[in-house]
Amino acid sequence: MKKLMLSIFATTAIGALSLSLLITGCMSTAISGSGNLITEQEDYTDFTQVEINSAFEYTITQSDTFSIGITADDNVMPYVNVTKVGNRVKVALDNVSLRNAHYEANITMPTLSGVLIDSASRGSISGFDSTGALSLTVTSASRLTLVDITAGAITANVNSASTVTGTLNASSLNLNASGASTVQITGSATEADLTVGGASKALLVGFPIGNVDVTVDGASKATLNVSGTLDINADGASTVQYTGGPTIGTLNVGGASTVSAL
């Protein structure tokens, strides 16, 4: 029995030591930012979509000219990867572990038709004004601030603890928010189709809309400003609150959910 206990102890100790060495090894291979920032310019043009990844800070700004400027610690810059496939530019890092590092992308372009913001990236898009369609995808704890954005039909997918704020004007808005995400915008839309689930929030009192079809589920919340017809489906201990004097059309409320005027 003593031999068995010693064997178990030894095996446990070896396992703990191996895990400690693995963690130490991972920490020792992380690159610390040098603090010496440099900027490099990329030559890509003729793109209308942007993908930002790898916890980048970013700005995407309307301009008559194309530009992509990357600012980063000089020892981090070799790991920055900017590529273009079709009409989409992607900004990301190679597979590298960083500590106390700075890296950001500043992009200008004439027209924006879509963005994908991923992996805890955070920044803004500003100044785009068109009647064309615009697709916004914000995922994996990322943040997007909208600054004076106008478009035709806007599709927005916001998930996995991500946040979208700012000012947006659209002819129509199709919003899907899930996974403890938050959308809080001002501006306006003629019509909107809203799906809010998984403990998410769509806070749109400062965003007047004509007609709205809203579905909330999974302890989610929608606060709305509607002047036309408001169709509501609420389930799973969710909340819909509204102002603007809408006409209530479809009304399905279940699962301890509530619907009320503000």
Q: Which domain holds residue 11?
A: 1-27
Query: 218 and 201 share a domain?
Result: yes
Query: 151 and 252 share a domain?
Result: yes
Query: 64 and 192 share a domain?
Result: no
**Domain boundary residue, one of 78, 111, 144:** 111
Mean of per-residue pLDDT scores for the chain: 92
Q: What share of the chain has pLDDT > 70, as a percent?
A: 89
**Residue with the larger pLDDT of the pair 105 and 12:** 105
Mapping DSSP to helix (H, G, I), strand (E, B) and coil, where does residue 245 land?
coil
Q: What mean pLDDT is predicted for residues 6-22? A: 41
- Give residue 16's pLDDT band: very low, low, confident or very high (50, 70, 90): very low
Q: What mean pLDDT is predicted for residues 158-172? A: 99
Mapping DSSP to helix (H, G, I), strand (E, B) and coil, where does residue 1 land?
coil
Q: Which two tokens stand for residue 55?
A: 């916890």
The predicted pLDDT at position 28 comes to 54
- Give residue 29's pLDDT band: very low, low, confident or very high (50, 70, 90): confident
Q: How many structural domains does the chain have?
A: 3
Would you say residue 223 has pLDDT above 50? yes
Query: 76 and 8 share a domain?
Result: no
Query: 54 and 104 share a domain?
Result: yes
Token pair 């030591």 is at which residue?
A: 17
Identify the sign of the CA torsion 186, 122, 197, 191: positive
**Residue with the larger pLDDT of the pair 109 and 28:** 109
The predicted pLDDT at position 4 comes to 38
Query: 232 and 156 share a domain?
Result: yes
Whether 192 contacts 212, CB under 8 Å? yes
Query: 51 and 179 share a domain?
Result: no
Cβ neighbours around 243 below 10 Å, total: 14
| pLDDT tens for each residue of 70-80 | 999 999 999 99
The predicted pLDDT at position 141 comes to 99
The predicted pLDDT at position 79 comes to 98
Would you say residue 186 has pLDDT above 70? yes
**Domain boundary residue, one of 111, 142, 170:** 111
Query: 202 and 160 share a domain?
Result: yes
**Domain boundary residue, one of 59, 77, 111:** 111
Distance CA 89, CA 34 (A): 27
> Strands 37-42 and 67-73: what pairing?
antiparallel
Query: 106 and 200 share a domain?
Result: no
In this prediction the pTM is 0.89
- Give residue 217's pLDDT band: very low, low, confident or very high (50, 70, 90): very high
Would you say residue 239 has pLDDT above 60? yes
Query: 155 and 256 share a domain?
Result: yes
| pLDDT tens for each residue of 116-136 | 999 999 999 999 999 999 999
Query: 104 and 138 share a domain?
Result: no
Q: Which CATH number is 214's domain given?
A: 2.160.20.120
Query: 76 and 137 share a domain?
Result: no
